[in-house]
Amino acid sequence: MAQAALIIRSVVLSLIALTLVACSSTDGEEETGPAPLLDFEEERKFNKVWSSSVGDGQGGIFNRLNPAVDGDLIYVASAQGEIEAITVEAGKTVWDADLEQLLVGGVGVGENTIYVGTAAGEVVALNKDDGETLWSIELGGEVLAAPQEKDGIVYVQTFDGQMLALNVKDGERVWSFRNNLPVLTLRGTSTPLIYRDSIIAGFANGRVISFELDTGAVRWNTRVTVAKGDSEIQRIIDIDAPLLEHNGLIYAVSYQGKIAAIDPASGRRLWANDASSYAGMSLGFGNIYVVGEDGSVTAFEKNGQGARWAQTVLERRKLTGSAILSSYVIVGDVEGYLHALSQVDGRIAARTKVDSDGIQVDLQTVDDMLLVYSNGGKLVMYKLEEKSSGWF
């Protein structure tokens, strides 16, 4: 009976995650579809360097199977269990494997190993060189974020509030911690961040916790935001976006809450501003760029002095986490478009369509290129160049 209840809860939370953005209006507005795309003066052009196809991509639910870049290779997984190692330079497949399991999280990359999470609550370790399965272990909760490895230990955060440290050689548990979950949460988990001798993680109750790598002892436990509202949906304050580290500070953003700067030594919250996001942040020009759940993109000054600019023309387009390319902030959307926004003032400078199935995985910068993994399984590398450049 307990297992059935857990399954029902997972389904309910999945439905909430898919519908929250459309239902989030508090002003009685009836607009639910993506805002129409407006004309703009094109300053740059997205030029495709190469394109590859990886199975069914994200599958039919809100998965965020982020590719992992490690040196000259990209490791990428699809929801149906396909995993490939693809070259950064040309998009050529070096090896591929099929786990024949439903995947919901990853890819994490270690020294010799890559890691993915299954719908059955397992974490699977594979050899980086050829994709051979090394071990798998059931953890009880879905692994929706990429595991992180350091010094022979892999750190895994699960959807049911666990943080675990596993031995890289065989998956044996080294230590574990369980955090109490709120009644309702978004379907997602913040990717843990290894910082010096700590593993730092954001949780569904709006807290960020720092653990000692070797023992799992809690060093500090900081509240980023406080739940507000009368209904359980209004009180959702998940930290699902990956934590961002820059110049010795940790930045965290919650859904329906705050963006905050945290001292990683003490856990002291240095500043906070109102924000609502579940997507990855990026940093440039002295700003932290936050993609709001409403489709806004806001440039917060990294010194905590507030917002420098906000762009709202992409409302309700369910934007991806952002990436920085040259002097532009890049985001993807639910209809499969990429948008380049100026870091100076947020104006739209370029646009292209990748995949009509949409994009929901955070974008990544690789050297001077942009890596995009669409919902339908298109893995594409772009450059952002002058309109006159002669790329195909």
Mean pLDDT, residues 122-142 taken together? 97
Per-residue pLDDT band for 30 (boundaries 50, 70, 90) equals low
pLDDT confidence of residue 32: 83
For tokens 């690789």, name the residue. Answer: 366
Written as six digits, the tokens of 382 are 């772009």
Mean pLDDT, residues 254-278 taken together? 98
pLDDT confidence of residue 387: 81
Q: Which of 37-41, 156-160, 181-185, 285-289 has the lowest mean pLDDT?
A: 181-185
Q: Do 334 and 35 form a contact (C-beta atoms < 8 A)?
A: no
pLDDT digits (tens, 9 = 90+) for 66-120: 999 999 999 999 999 999 999 999 999 999 999 999 999 989 999 999 999 999 9
pLDDT confidence of residue 61: 81
Nearest one of 329, 260, 325, 261 to 291, comparing CA atoms: 329
Could you give the 3-state DSSP secondary structure of residue 197? coil
The 3-state DSSP composition of the chain as helix, strand, coil percent (nearest 5) reads: 5, 45, 50
pLDDT confidence of residue 183: 87
Q: Do 123 and 147 form a contact (C-beta atoms < 8 A)?
A: yes
Rounded CA separation 159/10 (Å): 9
Cβ count within 10 A of residue 343? 22
**What mean pLDDT is reported for the chain?**
92
pLDDT digits (tens, 9 = 90+) for 274-294: 999 999 999 999 999 999 999
Written as six digits, the tokens of 293 are 């759940």
Per-residue pLDDT band for 391 (boundaries 50, 70, 90) equals very low
Q: Do 42 and 349 form a contact (C-beta atoms < 8 A)?
A: yes
Rounded CA separation 156/140 (Å): 12
Nearest one of 24, 5, 9, 63 to 276, comparing CA atoms: 24
pLDDT confidence of residue 60: 81
pTM of the model: 0.91
Per-residue pLDDT band for 348 (boundaries 50, 70, 90) equals very high
Mean pLDDT, residues 344-368 taken together? 97
User: What is the chain's Cα-based Rg?
Assistant: 20
Which DSSP string do the residues of 144-170 spell out, in sequence order? Answer: -S--EEETTEEEEE-TTSEEEEEETTT
Looking at the predicted structure, is the pLDDT value of residue 22 above 80? no
pLDDT confidence of residue 10: 43
- Cα first-last separation, the chain: 57
Written as six digits, the tokens of 174 are 């080294």
Q: Which of 29-38, 81-90, 240-249, 373-382 has the lowest mean pLDDT?
A: 29-38
